[in-house]
Structure formats: structure tokens, C-alpha cells
Structure 1
Amino acid sequence: MRLAIITLTKKATKKGVEIKKLLTPTNRFEIINIFTLSKYSDDKTIPMENGFKETISNIFNSYDSLYFIMASGIVVRTIAPFLKSKDIDPAVITSDEDGKFITSLLSGHLGGANELASLIAENIGGIPIISTASDVSGSIAVDTIAMKLKAHLRDLESAKDVTALIVNGERVELRLPKNMSVKLDSNSLDCEKPKNIKKDIAGIVVMSNRLNIEVTQIIPKNIILGIGCRRNTSAETILDSIKLTMKESNLHMDSIKHIATVDVKADEIGLLEICNRLDKKLIIIDREQIKPIQDNYEGSDFVEKTIGVRCVSAPVAYLSSNRSGKFIKEKKRYNGVTVSVYEE
């Protein structure tokens, strides 16, 4: 790794020389050069004879990492014209002149700025400032996986989307060729080579050297919707509530197996119309079936006074299922409509 340390004051230059001395024995760096203004330069540093901005322009792409011992604002304004992409830009870190806080500013994962900030902080007794979401949450980003495997990311945008799944606690599967194995410490990443994709997998990272990888999706019909609504609720309102709930749950509309409701809603025109539009069967659950299990779910005195049971959507979803699955969303309210989502 080629590291450039850039300073603008006498104190920062002295700190840069000190840091180089501490980092050299780690054997992590091919070269460490210290750049400073000509008036502070000596035989241990390289003078910025053409000024700060011109020097950064000349060296920005010549080093793997740039460490600025100065205010972050100055750095941001200076490097902005040279930024291209996270898979090309060098790692950029900053710190105060005392080296108390070492901030990973740019290319935290692919460029290694997060790791570098931690390494420097460990060696000089500072505090690393890492703000990338995956690191803060204790998970691992897709670009970090690529870096650890010394591999190339084909698509940064999809990598960002899959990383978002990991950060949000969703499970992501890493599919590897038979001749590779890797162990990555993450609660949200399945790094084994399972024979079948698990039901709770929300994303997949495929590692392959093939130019084209054909991927298709088969959508199982294993989602049951329990619906409760006010009398004479419009079909559009019911459909909006279903679509919103399915989207929030990251579920495809084609995965709906059937819709269930309580017996007093068997003639609800809006609900019948929606089942017809979606081509889904409407399962009717008798209130007497609900009563023994209604206390397992959030209930309402008003609903009980009106129809004789305390809740509708959750118990009808459960009772109309194979009863061996789980609720993805037990209750979602929207404009007088209540939707429960049960996955078999």
C-alpha cells in the first residue's frame, strides 16, 4: 500500500513524521511519503512547491491512501474535483493535528479507509471515526466482501442495494464456486453453500468468473392475507392497503395464495371485487373459530362490541393457513382496513 500523509502546519508536519515512524514497522506500506508546505519541509518530507491544491491534483491517483492531517472541510473541497467512483478513488482519511480522532472520509470499504483509520488509531492511540452503516451495525458490506476476496464488483448499484438488506437485518446468501470457500463474520450473511435457498433469504451475492449469469425467480404462492375492514370500504382503498403492506414486507403480489376474512364480511362488495381482480379465493372464517384464539392477538373493544370478536385479520389469516408458518406482519392499519400477512 502506498500512503501519502499531507499536512499544512508545522504541528501537523511533526505529527506526520511521528505517525510514519509508528506505521513503518507494521510492514503494511510499500511507501509512506509526507507532503507539506515548503516552509515546513525538511529531509523527512516532500515540499509542495506548487502549492496544496496542485500537489493534491498531481498525487491523488498515485497513492492507494491519502491521510490529511487537517480539517475535513478543507479536504472535501480540495478533493471534490478528482472524485470518480468508489471502486477507483483512493482511501481518504483525516485527523486533527493531535491525532485524537482519525476519520474515514472516502472509500471506506473498497479503498480500505475504514481499515486504515483503525490501524492508524491503534498505533498512535487515537479514536477511529467510522460512519459507514454496515460497520456501525456490526454487519458486513458487499464491497467489503469483494475486497476481502480480492475480487471485482460488477455493479456498484446492486451491491449497495444488497448491502442495505444486510444492514437492515435481512439475510443474504453468498453463493460461491465449488473451488472456493470463505468465512465472513456477519450475523446477516450466510456464507456456506446450502443446497436450497432458505425461505428467509432476501438477497443473494453470486461470485463467478462467467461473463453472463442467467438468473430467474420462481415465486411461491405461500402468502395468506387476513383482511378486516369497515362496512362499505371501497375496493380501491382495500387494494391500496394490500399493495402498501406487501411492499413494506418486500413481498411480491403474485405470492398471495388466498385472502381470508370473518363471516360477517362474506358479502363485503369491495373485498369481493378485490378478490375477483386479483383472482384470489376468499376464505370465510366463522367467528366461533376465532374466539378460542383471539386473545393471542391485539384486539379492540369496539370490534368486539360490533361483531362479537375482538380481532379479525390476524386470526383469520392463521386459521385459513396450514398453521405451520409465521406472521410476517401481524397487523397493518390503513384507512379503515386492517391487513395481516402470514407466510406458510
Structure 2
Amino acid sequence: MASRQTKIIALTEAGKSLAERLQSLIEAEVAYKPQPFAEQVQSFFKNGDRLIFICATGIVMRSLAPVLQDKYQDPPVLVIDEQGQFVIPLLSGHEGGANNWALEVSKHLNAQPVITTANGYLNPVYSVGMGCERGCPVDELERLLMECLEQSSLNLDQVSSISSIDIKADEVGLIELAEKLDKPYQIWDKNQLSEMEPLLSTRSEYVFNTVGVYGVAESAALLSTKQQTGQQPELVLNKQKTKKATCAIARSYSGVGGASSAEN
């Protein structure tokens, strides 16, 4: 698979002008009237490229329908009208990060984001959970964290804390990472973390036999967001790992209210 990029797809002269304006504000490639259209945009999508369409939503849905998988795997897709007034996160709003991306693009264009997913009008709180082998270098931990943020279309400012299990209370690499990034370092004991077991994406018997929970990174991320908001947490990014470290990102929402439509 080729490296993932951001593509702005336009079909009209007005759309092309808006695409070029947006290209000057974000790192992206403009694809003007790609041909054959459906084949080209499906290729972008299957490559994992983040897509911004400047056209009707119906065109986008009919073109991408054959290659849609699910909200955990599909890349984020935005749709913008030709006048640049509205930015709609059409696919992978929560898990793929399209909602947050729509907010960012809206600010660039001074446009109105149209968030239609459930909880779209609440304030998301994100926390990073990490686990590692004893003595894991801070550089490896930071590299993994940054890759996970990029994969989730999040930035460091959106992260409320870095958390782990209590046996990592003295883990130098994690402590240094939190200090370097100016984030609180939270630790939880295995009894607290075990409450998150039903929400884990995977359960590792090896990890359980070693530390008493089925997953450190996911459990810590989930519990941290729940503690901050008092609301049910969810995984934004399932556990990612290197040879020596693991990382997961969770979210819950603070505030009340919200849209009533279903998750896209």
C-alpha cells in the first residue's frame, strides 16, 4: 500500500477554486475531475487516503458504496459545498476522526461544520493509555504515540492525559514522555482497570497472567476518560504495538445534549 495522503476532489471550476484555496491552507493534493471518476476515488479510498469532496453528497456515496467496509477501517471523508459554507463529515465521523477533521477544516474556511453523528455536540475528552517493557526508551514511546495520534486524526493538544497500570508508576520512559509533552501521568491498579474489561477490543491471556488485567493500554485509556467525564468511554484507536510498547486512545464526552442520529 502506498503512503496515505489527503486528496481534495473537485468536479467543477468553482469547486477547483475552493480546492486550491484549501490546498494553500493544508497539506493535500487536488484531484480535478479524475477519470474514470468512480475508479479513481475508490482507489484513493482503498489506499486509506483522507478524502475531501467538493460536490454533492449523493455522488460521493454512490461512488464509494462498493468499497465501504466499516467505521473502524474506512478513512475519513468530508464533503464541502462549492461555496465553502458547510463542511460535512460523511464517513468515519468518530472512529476515523472525520468529526474533528471537519472542525479543523471549517476553521480554515470560516465555514459551518455539520456534525450529524451521535454526541456530535458534546465535548470529547481523549486519553492515551500506554504499556511497555521495563526500560523502554522514551523515543520509542513518543514515536508510537505520535503515530497513533496521526492514525486517529488527533493532535497532542486534544490529549488530556497519558495513563498506565500502577506497576509502571516508576517507569522512566513513560514519566519522561508525560513530562516532555506536558501531560498528566495517571496510573491505575488492576482492580480499577478490570472494570473496563467488557470494552476491550482484545484480551491477552499473557498480559493477564503477567499483570492481572487483559490489556493495559486500552484499559488505562478507557478508565482515564471515564474518570474525567463520568460518562461511558469508548475506544477511538484499538491497541497498537511495537516490540516494546503498546498504545491505545479512548474517548468519552463531557456536557449534556447531543444530536439524535446514529453513528455513521
The normalised TM-score by structure 1 is 0.44
Among all aligned residue pairs of Structure 1 and Structure 2, give the percentage whose two residues are the same amino acid: 19
Instruction: Give the AA of the match of 1:251.
Output: L
Work out the CA distance in 2 between the residues paired with 1:173 and 1:201: 14
In structure 2, distance between residues paired with 1:271 and 1:283: 10
For 1:172, which of 71, 74, 78 is the aligned residue?
78
Aligned to 1:17: none
Query: Structure 1 unaligned runs (5+)?
Result: 1-85, 89-107, 116-129, 149-167, 191-197
Distance (Å, rounded) in 2 between the aligned partners of 1:341 and 1:292: 17
**Aligned pair in 2 of structure 1 residues 314, 87: CA closer, same or farther (>3 Å)?**
same
Contact 1:171/1:202 (CA < 8 Å) preserved in 2? no
Query: 1:320 maps to which residue?
Result: 224
- For residues 39-50 of structure 1, what are the structure 2 equivalents within 5 Å? none
Contact conserved, 1:238 with 1:274, CA < 8 A, in 2? yes
Q: Please report how far the alpha carbon of residue 302 of structure 1 lies from its aligned counterpart in structure 2 after TM superposition.
A: 2.1
| Structure-to-structure mapping, 1:139-288, within 5 angstroms | 142=53, 144-145=55-56, 168-174=74-80, 188=91, 200-203=99-102, 222-288=125-191
Aligned residues: 186
**Residues 141, 326 of structure 1: CA spacing in aligned structure 2 closer, same or farther, 3 A cutoff?**
same
- Residues 114 and 249 from structure 1, CA distance in 2 versus in 1: closer, same or farther, beyond 3 angstroms? same
Q: Contact (CA 8 Å) 1:262, 1:284: kept in 2 or not?
A: yes
- 1:227–1:339 contact (8 Å) kept in structure 2: yes
Q: For 1:189 and 1:341, locate their aligned partners in 2 and report how far apart those are by CA, in whole Å.
A: 16
The residue identity in structure 1 corresponding to 2:154 is L
CA distance in 2, matches of 1:340, 1:319: 12
Match of residue 18 from structure 2: none
TM-score (norm 2): 0.55
Q: Deviations over 1:59-82 (max 9, x none)?
A: xxxxxxxxxxxxxxxxxxxxxxxx
Contact 2:163 2:186 in 1 (8 A): yes
Counterpart CA distance in 2 for 1:136 and 1:308 is: 43
Which residue number in structure 2 is paired with residue 157 of structure 1?
none
Runs of 4+ in 1 over 4 A off after TM superposition: 134-137, 175-178, 204-207, 212-215
Counterpart selection for 2:196 from 293, 296, 315: 293
2:210 matched residue in structure 1? 306
- CA shift at 1:202, angstroms? 2.7
Matching residue of 1:333: 241
The amino acid across from 2:220 in the alignment is V
Letter in 2 for 1:174: I
1: distance between equivalents of 2:80 and 2:104? 5
SS at match of 1:271: helix
Cα distance per residue 1:121-166 (max 9 Å; x no partner): xxxxxxxxx52225997xx973555xx9xxxxxxxxxxxxxxxxxx
* CA distances 1:223-280 after superposition (whole Å, capped 9, x unpaired): 2001111111111111111111111222112211101111111110111011110111
Q: Is the alpha carbon distance of 1:141 and 1:312 closer, same or farther for their aligned partners in structure 2, counting shifts above 3 Å?
A: closer
1:228/1:339 contact within 8 Å kept: yes
| Cα distance, 1:87–1:204 mapped onto 2, change above 3 Å | farther
Which blocks of at least 5 consecutive residues in structure 2 are unaligned? Answer: 1-10, 14-30, 46-50, 60-73, 112-122, 253-264
Listed as ranges, the matches of 1:70-149 within 5 Å are: 110=33, 131-134=39-42, 142=53, 144-145=55-56
